[in-house]
Amino acid sequence: MVSLLFLKDEPQPARLVSGKKLCCSTKMKTEGWNWSDVRVFLAVFREGSTLAAARKLGVAQPTVARRIEELEHQTGLTLFDRDTRGFKPTAQAHNLIPFAEAVEKASENFAAKSRELTKPKPIRITAPGYFSDQSMEIFSEFAALNPGITIEFVHSVGVLNLLEGEADIALRVAMSEPDESLIGRKIGTDHFALYGAQNYADQYGLPKSSGDFRGHRFVTLRRDDVADIQHQWIAHHVSPGQIVKSFSDLDMFHASIKAGHGLGLVHARWADTDNALLRCFDNISELSRPVMMLIAPEAYRRSEVKTFTKFFAPRYAATFGDPSS
């Protein structure tokens, strides 16, 4: 009897295979086998019997014997000689051992890497550098409820590239539209006002409105990587000679105001908690900006990042406004 074996995607005449019809065992030999069979093979080889291997693996002895028979059936090899003293590995078994151990090592590495990838990593959060006591209370509450998750703060006035992994989450006062590739939500609104120091007030007084800037001196913050909206607001309301200093470093900018060099626009929520700064007048409405929580898509796939954002965002929004937006 002749059986026909049709090859896929081959228009040529059928290939002839002599002999009996292809049986399931022939098909099985063309396929791979699973790691559990190799694991059982190694256990029997090392322990010397199916009983000892079963104890080592924590399974029933008949299961071990059946898996060895299945592996021999799949490979077409006799791996063990059976006698009353146990299972004696054949030469063929000895030849396969280095490869079986390589599979074992690969499986161990796979498991170790999987554990590494699923282990919580520190959540790196970037922010301009000012967190109020109320903000820190939210972080502290999260840390108490999630002791296995670590948070690292990456201080940066500039805009870090979340898509390139410079941070996982950014809490930003949005001076421009965020990258559409990022996951984001508005969690509040930040306001800015004009502040000075006591020694400045003693010498020059403090303006009562934006129309009262004659005779006053100003310092500003200007950076290439941040929109200079606040500098432009000052420049629009005063003459160029009234701007005595411009800084690219936020801490130096704040220090200059506190030293009495001039008045400056400062984040109101932070400045109002600093006794070294005196507010001149109310928040400047046109400088108010939404506070955004922006998350890199790759980071958001991590369970610890999702846990943090679901905890932090609504609490921050409830504390600092606009929870519905």
What is the model's pLDDT at position 3? 35
Distances (CA, A) of 141 to 48, 58, 122, 133, 137: 56, 43, 17, 12, 6
What is the model's pLDDT at position 321? 62
Q: Lowest-pLDDT range, 7-16, 120-129, 137-146? A: 7-16
Assess whether pLDDT exceeds 60 at residue 227.
Answer: yes
Q: Is the Cα dihedral 318, 320, 322, 325 positive or negative?
A: negative
Q: What is the mean pLDDT of the chain?
A: 84
Q: Is the Cα dihedral 282, 177, 320, 158 positive or negative?
A: negative
Buried b (16+ CB within 10 A) or exposed e, 161-185: ebeeebbbbbbbbbeeebeeebbbe
What is the model's pLDDT at position 9? 39
Residue 74 to residue 97: CA distance in whole angstroms? 16
Model confidence pLDDT, tens digit, residues 57-114: 999 999 999 999 999 998 999 999 998 888 999 999 999 999 999 999 998 888 888 8
Assess whether pLDDT exceeds 50 at residue 22.
Answer: no
Assess whether pLDDT exceeds 60 at residue 203.
Answer: yes
What is the model's pLDDT at position 25? 43
With tokens 């800084």, the residue in question is: 247
Mean pLDDT of 158-162: 79
